[in-house]
């Protein structure tokens, strides 16, 4: 007996593979181009130099990690050549919880495919990180969900981490570009080390604001792009009201909009229907949040007073953990 529902795979896979070209991706790419160009110039001159980096901030589920992954996939495709003749490479490390600087070094060595055996000091571990990064042509590291390494009260430990990050940018043998991504509180932590913050370009991923014409146009484009990808049509409902309900239902987060669109279009396609309706969105919402079917911002007249958005976001997070 197969536990894979082929009918769901056939419907959902093309939608999950689709990548919408957000305007914000251009800002991220421009920041990366400036960092890589700066690195190339300094490396070609020779001698000791300091690298620069990027700080990407935004609320959870705004699509930061996805945009960074897409950008790094392009950078790591072999087309960006450094002065030593080797293709540039940037690796990623997900910081899912509180770690020490020593632990972080071990995790990065694992990403570099150099699993550590036996006992090693912190300085030995980071010496190996620099060595194998240089051997592999790794010129940068992306620290995803970086806010997790900092504590609220231990300023001394936080300062040591900030100093250590700064040392990677300024390493006299093999400086590394750094990309930090996380929630807005991460910026406040990094700003405490002025020299580190000065070397970073900040890119913000803000929430959806329908009062902003750019956001409204981009949301419309996003909706119809996914609908076209699924080869479906939308029902004839009032568009402005629908977008307000959609943005509310997804807590103003671009990533959640995409997830809900994929879920809703999957519901429609699996029902062998050609028109996506409000009821389909309501069912998609229920599937993503675990809330009772019919209890949704798409169907309730007084929806803004019926939902607490903090609790609604928590519902999305709980369902994600179960999947």
Residues 252-263: tens digit of each pLDDT: 999 999 999 999
10 Å Cβ neighbour count for 245?
23
Domain count, the chain: 2
CA distance linking residue 221 with residue 19, whole number of Å: 13
pLDDT in tens, 171-216: 999 999 999 999 999 999 999 999 999 999 999 999 999 999 999 9
Tokens of 220: 């419309």
pTM of the model: 0.90
CA distance linking residue 70 with residue 34, whole number of Å: 17
Q: What is the pLDDT of residue 2?
A: 72
- Residues of the chain above pLDDT 70, percent: 99
53 part of a folded domain? yes
Which helix (H) or strand (E) segment is 67 a member of? helix 64-75
Q: What is the pLDDT of residue 22?
A: 87
10 Å Cβ neighbour count for 190?
25
Report the side by side order of strands in the sheet with 177-182.
89-94, 138-144, 177-182, 53-58, 200-205
Strands 200-205 and 53-58: parallel
- Residues of the chain above pLDDT 90, percent: 80
Note whether 161 and 241 are same-domain residues: no
Note whether 86 and 224 are same-domain residues: no
pLDDT at residue 236 above 90?
no
Sign of CA dihedral 263, 265, 269, 273: positive
Find the CATH number of the domain harbouring 56.
3.40.50.300
Note whether 197 and 212 are same-domain residues: no
147 part of a folded domain? yes
Q: What is the pLDDT of residue 321?
A: 80
Note whether 60 and 154 are same-domain residues: yes
Domain boundary among 205, 225, 244: 205
Tokens of 103: 């632990």
């Amino acid at each position: 007996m197969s536990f894979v529902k082929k009918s769901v795979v056939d419907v959902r896979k093309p939608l999950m593979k689709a990548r919408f070209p957000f305007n914000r991706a251009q800002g991220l790419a421009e920041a990366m181009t400036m960092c890589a160009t700066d690195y190339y110039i300094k490396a070609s001159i020779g001698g000791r130099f300091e690298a620069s980096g990027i700080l990407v901030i935004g609320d959870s589920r705004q699509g930061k990690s996805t945009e960074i992954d897409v950008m790094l996939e392009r950078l790591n495709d072999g087309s960006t050549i450094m002065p030593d003749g080797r293709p540039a490479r940037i690796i990623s490390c997900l910081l899912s919880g509180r770690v020490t600087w020593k632990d972080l070094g071990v995790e990065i060595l694992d990403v570099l495919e150099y699993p550590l055996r036996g006992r090693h000091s912190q300085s030995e571990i980071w010496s190996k990180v620099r060595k194998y990064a240089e051997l592999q042509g790794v010129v940068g590291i992306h620290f995803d969900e970086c806010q997790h390494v900092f504590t609220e009260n231990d300023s001394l430990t936080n300062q040591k981490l900030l100093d250590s990050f700064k040392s990677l940018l300024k390493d006299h043998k093999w400086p590394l570009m750094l990309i930090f991504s996380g929630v807005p509180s991460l910026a406040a932590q990094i700003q405490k080390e002025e020299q580190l913050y000065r070397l970073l370009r900040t890119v913000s991923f803000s929430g959806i604001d329908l009062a902003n014409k750019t956001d409204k146009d981009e949301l419309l484009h996003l909706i119809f792009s996914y609908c076209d990808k699924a080869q479906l049509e939308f029902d004839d409902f009032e568009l402005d009201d629908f977008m307000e309900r959609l943005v509310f239902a997804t807590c103003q987060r671009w990533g959640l909009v995409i997830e809900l669109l994929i879920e809703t279009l999957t519901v429609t396609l699996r029902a062998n229907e050609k028109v996506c309706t409000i009821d389909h969105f309501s069912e998609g919402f229920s599937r993503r949040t675990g809330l009772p079917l019919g209890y949704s911002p798409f169907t309730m007249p007084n929806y803004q007073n019926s939902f607490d958005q903090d609790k609604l976001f928590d519902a999305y997070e709980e369902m994600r953990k179960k999947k």
